Amino acid sequence: MCFHSNRPTPVIAESDNDSIYESVRIISSGGLIAFPTDTVYGVGALFNNKSAVKRLYNAKSRALNKAIPILVGNFNDVWSLSKEVTPSAQKLAKTFWPGPLSLVLRKSDNVSAIVAPGSTVAVRSPNHSWLLELLSIVGPLAVSSANKSGEPETMSCGEVQASFGNKLDLIVSGTSVRPSLPSTVVDCSVDPPKIIREGPISSTSIKTAM
């Protein structure tokens, strides 16, 4: 099922009682939605729906060789996404999840090349109650920042609308968590783990936790 049309993208507030229901309906049917997270606005689709993930790439004008991170509702979801969840990854997740930390792991066969064309996948559990509820219902989502590739990250519903026009099926607006820097990224597929990007969680905090 394809939701895309020439009509303006519908907007619903996360505080609306129907926001989860409508998001689940659209996501489960192969749709594409944008939503606030604990960092910047994100745009996501079911990670195992290849056509929906391709729409995500197209909406962002993103190169197909650039992997898309996966958001999970809890740490147990990681075991089905990775061939090896290292002790370091487990320690970091226990310390900082849910929160602004992305872990790069060796991907399992459950993660298609359209999501992660290489041998690894980045996973994160967001510290955002609305999004965690959605993830608990629909499962892991392929999520990228809600902006066109090469443009600044979006921090509001209005900025998402300006960036994507009518290429999304739903935008969820919310102010329950103040957006911040993109997440800290740590590559746990190598030993010792390597900090790829420093964000809200400092490199000192990462090294202390490991």
Domain 11-209, CATH among 3.40.50.700, 3.90.870.10, 1.10.357.10, 3.40.50.300: 3.90.870.10
Q: What SS3 state is found at 132?
A: helix
Cα dihedral sign for 164, 147, 36, 116? positive
CA dihedral sign, ordered 175, 177, 183, 188: negative
Amino acid at 87: P
Per-residue pLDDT of the chain (210 residues; tens, 9 = 90+): 334 455 678 888 888 989 999 999 999 999 999 999 988 899 999 999 999 999 999 999 999 999 999 999 999 999 999 999 999 999 999 999 999 999 999 999 999 999 999 999 999 999 999 999 999 999 999 999 999 998 888 888 888 988 998 899 999 998 644 556 788 999 999 999 999 999 899 999 998 988
CA dihedral 125, 141, 103, 122 (to 10 degrees): -170
As a dihedral over the C-alpha atoms of residue 120, residue 39, residue 74, residue 208, rounded to 10 degrees, the angle is: 70
pLDDT of residue 6: 58
Q: What is the pLDDT of residue 39?
A: 84
Q: Is the whole-model pTM more than 0.85?
A: yes
Sign of the four-CA dihedral 169, 170, 171, 177: negative
Angle at CA 49, nearest 5°, toward 48 and 54? 115
pLDDT value of residue 174: 85
